Structure 1
Amino acid sequence: MRGLLPPSESWLDATAVVESYRPPPGRFVRANFVHALDGATSVDGASAGLGSDADHQVFTVLRAWCDAVLVGHGTASGEGYGPVGADAEVAELRAELGRPADAPVVVVSRRASLAPGDRLSAPPTVLVTCASADPDRRSALTEAGVQVLVCGEDDVDLPAALDALAARGLEQVLCEGGPSLVRAAVAADVVDELCLTTAPLLVGGAAGLLGDHGLPTPRAVRLVQLLEEDGVLLARYSLR
């Protein structure tokens, strides 16, 4: 990869890329997303069609730095999410950075849709739901070893959820979508940084980064880093 902002005199090696994504200490929420030039966030319903070696490298780095991965149930189900530590490349890099080999996947679901027996329905998975979710389902998930956090009455209260995660030592949170969750997180003002990969593709016909709904008010962001490899742009935007 080469650095466009700040500019680099030579190509960045793997170590330099890892260091460029080192998060600040304390509570920090990143959202990571890949999209096409026209804003599409999937090809045939999955984000894998937009992927590249550069995007995969940054995906691995971001997962290596985080304490927890935050994801909506629809994305976790549709993308076949499993334990973070099951990815040997991520686990190896986490070990090199002195991090635990695994990090919990935190599934957000207003209806507690995660089912006992699912790939993620075991420790260290965390489910964030709300009080209106079926209490029997919540109890069954707890018995299966899922840590269930009730945050909000009729919908998930994301600020309260992040407070609860931080109280459990999970301060560095990586939000991986989907669009509805990213929109809700930005609207709730809990996202500190957006890591956005732009694939050199035109797809069309798919929802954008924030889904089909706009924000209450436009949100200004500041570009703090831009890398490039084979036409793929990897940007970091600060929302603070």
Structure 2
Amino acid sequence: MRRIFPTPVASVSVEAAYGVARSRIKTGASSEPTSRPLSRPTIGLCMVMSLDGSTVVQGNSRALSGDADRSILIGLRSLADVIVVGSSTVRIDDYGPPSRKDLRVAVVSRTGNIDLTTPLFTSGAGFLIIPEDAPEPSNPTVTCIRAGHGSVDFAAAMNQLDGTFIQLEGGPGLNASMAHADLIDEINLTISPNIAANNQPRLLSEATPILKRFTLSHILEEEGFLFLRYTRNRN
């Protein structure tokens, strides 16, 4: 993997490209613009999309991904304290327990109507983010974070999560809700060298029109895939 920007480097590791950036933000040593309020963890969106903007081909993102993209996903997960993901994405991509035992997965659902007998939940890794008025889950041992009425109050929910870095993994509806609440502090975006030419979801869907400024931090390339990292500019 080579770095194109900011300083061209012929070969760079995922750990060097992403781990150093994350550790510098955690220690406050980064020179990047302030990306988040200090009252909550940093939230980073990690997604892959086609050249024409699709995040899904035939129901999931696997056809758009590649070895380097998966390495970056794994690398960012190794730095995360919590993964936040929508219930539909969990079902479609068959999320299981993370390989890292202390990494937890927060599954967002408006109704709480989700299968809690899967290994993700029976392992203790998965927990729910649901509205305060959602029914009690079918498995009382599953942890719930409740925020909002009728729908999830994402700002309140994120303030209840422990740690310093949350990895947001979609889908597009959840991404849109988080963006509308101005909760996305960085975007780690893979541009796949494919076009999809379909009506599948884009990076954000069903969002009220918004305009938020991000600052480009790096561009990496491998086998035609581009890996872009942007941080939210709140200055």
TM-score, normalisation: structure 1: 0.85
Helix, strand or coil for the counterpart of 1:121?
helix
The residue type paired with residue 92 of structure 2 is G
TM-score by length of 2: 0.86
Does the CA contact (< 8 Å) of 2:51 and 2:194 recur in 1? Answer: yes
CA distance in 1, matches of 2:95, 2:183: 23
Deviation at 1:21, TM superposition (A): 4.5
TM-aligned CA deviation for residue 207 of structure 1: 1.7
| Structure with greater helix percent | 1
Q: Could you tell me whether the CA contact under 8 Å between 2:86 and 2:107 is conserved in 1?
A: yes
Of 71, 74, 85, which aligns to 1:60? 74
CA shift digits 1:32-53 (9 cap, x unpaired)? 0100000010111111111111
Aligned counterpart in structure 1 of residue 150 of structure 2, from 150, 154, 158: 154
Partner of 2:85: 71
Residue 21 to residue 36, structure 1, CA distance change in 2 (3 Å): farther
Pairwise CA distance, 1:189: 0.8
Q: CA deviation at 1:121?
A: 2.1
- What are the ranges of 5 or more consecutive residues in structure 1 without an aligned counterpart? 86-90, 92-100
Q: Secondary structure at the match of 2:121?
A: coil
Corresponding pairs, count: 217
The runs of at least 4 aligned residues of structure 1 exceeding 4 Å deviation read none
Letter of the aligned partner of 1:73 in structure 2?
Answer: S
Gaps of 5+ in 2: 27-37
Instruction: Quote the RMSD (CA, aligned, Å).
Output: 1.7
| Equivalent of 1:181 in 166, 171, 174 | 174
Deviates more, 1:169-178 or 1:10-19: 10-19
The within-5 A match list for 1:40-119 is 40-85=54-99, 91=100, 101-119=101-119
Tell me the equivalent position of 2:120: 120
Q: Distance in 2 between matches of 1:236 and 1:20?
A: 13
Shift of 1:217: 2.2
Deviation at 1:110, TM superposition (A): 0.6
Q: Could you say which residue in structure 1 is the equivalent of 2:185?
A: 192
